[in-house]
Amino acid sequence: MRTEEYGDLAAIVTASSGDHPIWVGWGIIEEIGKRIKSLFTPPVVYVISDERVSEHARMVQIALETEAIPAHIFMIPSGESNKNLETVQHVYKWLANRKAERGHMIVAVGGGVVGDLAGFVAATYLRGMPFAQVPTTLLAMMDAAIGGKVAVDLPQGKNLVGAFYQPQFVLSDVRTLSTLPDRELSSGWAEAIKHGLILDKELLAIFEKNTGKIKSLDPEIATQIIRDSVAIKANIVSQDERETLGIRILLNYGHTIGHAIESTTQYTQYLHGEAVSVGMMAAASISRSMGLLDESEVKRQRLILASYGLPIKAQGLNSSDILEAMRSDKKTSRGQINWVLLDGIGNAVTNNRVPDNYVAEALDSILTDDGKAEELGQGC
């Protein structure tokens, strides 16, 4: 069966290394062996996962071996704090002991941490091995698994050591999300809502009108909206794979301050989507100060984020620490931050000349408790 004949094809990403499919469906993880063989048949597959999703990793292993593809599993410690070069070295040694070859394949099964690290290993071991993404968290399905950005963290910041390295395919089984805690689901919806805010007003309206069904993972509606959101990011990546044309950077709406919040708290207090949610509120504040958004649009963003259980403020942080972390942001060039702002809902723009006082006001708006914000940071 050809790739395009699967009814759950969300998008085909066009990249310099070749095109690859993104499948989004319900109960499709058991088909991974057949789908790999629709593309090519690797002699051996190395599944990299973590303890929290060991059941899904085992399902992938069984599905591969059912198709006569030998598969081995390596479990990494869970959590962003383990997405580092030390963990990478452990995986390198395991691959070397297994005598992995360049024609073998790495499959990442798990959330964004697993996908980022496994992709980085695939990009660098033997100067590159084929790999695939099987994201099992909503955030990874929406964001980390799409686009070929693979990286690990340094103490100085997030994703500072990495590469652009595209997978052979992405297979997202929405049914795997049914085991996720509500907080992790909310974190994932942040990235999908972001897609509506920056590019697609109709998608945003669907989120507003179907909040209950989407949050409860209705198989039909949740799968379709994930598929639609994934298609938005895939289209952007196809146009601007390496972020050189000023298109892909639009996906970073909310991420400048969001990443700063994560690094300032050592990735222990806020989930990624939670930090991005707060960052989007800061970016909306700047957009309003720049005359790009009116107050009703800022309120609309605030209400939809809150309706999905996402925070709009961060508690107990210092603005000077956030500013210092922002200076290490990858989007900073010659000391200037290239901000992603909204020129109306559904229309993202960039601006590297935001006055310092607008940034200060935005930070004050998200770091000062006015009694209306929902508390966040109960630990991950």
242 carries an active-site annotation: no
Catalytic site residue from 31, 184, 191, 274? 191
Structural domain contains residue 378 = no
φ/ψ of residue 314, rounded to 5? -115, 135
Write the burial class of residue 42 (CB in 10 Å: 0-12 exposed, 13-18 middle, 19+ buried): buried
Q: What is the pLDDT of residue 24?
A: 97
Residue 44's nearest CA partner among 120, 99, 118, 109 is 99
300 carries an active-site annotation: no
Domain identity same for 138 and 162: yes
Catalytic site residue from 56, 259, 288, 331? 259
127 carries an active-site annotation: yes
Domain identity same for 224 and 153: no
Catalytic site residue from 52, 83, 158, 255? 255
Domain that holds residue 62: 3-179
φ/ψ of residue 358, rounded to 5? -70, -40
Q: Which two tokens stand for residue 200?
A: 């697609």
Q: What is the pLDDT of residue 330?
A: 62
Q: What is the pLDDT of residue 158?
A: 81
Catalytic site residue from 2, 127, 353, 372? 127
Question: In angstroms, rounded to a whole number, what is the distance separating the alpha carbons of residues 230 and 23?
Answer: 10
233 carries an active-site annotation: yes
- Please give the model's pTM, rounded to 2 decimal places: 0.87
248 carries an active-site annotation: yes
Q: For residue 47, give the CATH number of its domain.
A: 3.40.50.1970
Catalytic site residue from 227, 233, 288, 313? 233
Structural domain contains residue 53 = yes
Structural domain contains residue 373 = no
Structural domain contains residue 208 = yes
Q: Which of 179, 213, 232 is the last residue of a domain?
A: 179
Domain identity same for 195 and 90: no
Catalytic site residue from 272, 288, 313, 331? 272
Domain identity same for 256 and 124: no
Structural domain contains residue 374 = no
Domain identity same for 191 and 212: yes
All residue ranges of the chain with pLDDT < 70 are: 1-5, 329-331, 333-334, 368-380
255 carries an active-site annotation: yes
Q: Which of 179, 195, 225 is the last residue of a domain?
A: 179
Q: For residue 245, give the CATH number of its domain.
A: 1.20.1090.10
Q: What is the pLDDT of residue 263?
A: 87
Q: Which of 148, 179, 210 is the last residue of a domain?
A: 179
Domain identity same for 173 and 231: no
Domain identity same for 313 and 271: yes
Domain identity same for 155 and 193: no
The model's pLDDT over 126-139, given as tens digits with 9 standing for 90+, comes to: 999 999 999 999 99
Domain identity same for 272 and 242: yes
Domain identity same for 198 and 291: yes
Catalytic site residue from 252, 262, 302, 331? 252
Domain identity same for 163 and 63: yes
Q: What is the pLDDT of residue 368?
A: 65
202 carries an active-site annotation: no
Catalytic site residue from 35, 52, 83, 149? 149
Domain identity same for 155 and 118: yes
Number of domains into which the chain is organized: 2
Catalytic site residue from 80, 243, 262, 274? 243
Structural domain contains residue 377 = no
Structural domain contains residue 339 = yes
191 carries an active-site annotation: yes
72 carries an active-site annotation: no
The model's pLDDT over 254-292, given as tens digits with 9 standing for 90+, comes to: 999 999 999 899 888 999 999 999 999 999 999 999 999
353 carries an active-site annotation: no
